[in-house]
Amino acid sequence: MIVKIIREGLGRLIVFIDFITKPAKIVRTEVAQQLVDKQAENLALYQFYACPFCIRTRRAIHRLNIPIELRDAQNNPKFRQELLSEGGAIQVPCLRIEENGQTNWMYESAKIIEYLNSRFGAAT
């Protein structure tokens, strides 16, 4: 019980630090941003609010200015079950990618951020 309280407290501290140190968003032309918005419609991030790896991933999403749907797999039983039954594990962060009629589940914050940078980075 004490470990859970400490973990929750540290998580909230990390969330607060993230809030006050939010990175600047990439600025795109209106047309380029509309294209990013359209491409992001088929993406969803399954995450826990105070998870450090999820925060790291959300910071990258914010910096890249991508409107990805955030799904709370910690407090929403529907999203938790989707993550387990379709993704294969209750592990966050997990990016759900729907392309060409197929759904892929990408785990690990570093891989997700690398994917997002390559797809939506400054060169796009």
- pLDDT value for 5: 82
For residues 67 and 73, the answer to whether their CB atoms sit within 8 Å is: no
φ, ψ (nearest 5 deg) of residue 18: -60, -45
Q: Is the pLDDT of residue 124 over 50?
A: no
pLDDT digits (tens, 9 = 90+) for 7-59: 778 888 888 888 888 888 999 999 999 999 999 999 999 999 989 999 999 99
- pLDDT value for 17: 85
**pTM summary value:** 0.87
> What percentage of the chain carries pLDDT values higher than 70?
98
The domains of the chain, with CATH numbers, are 2-120 (3.40.30.10)
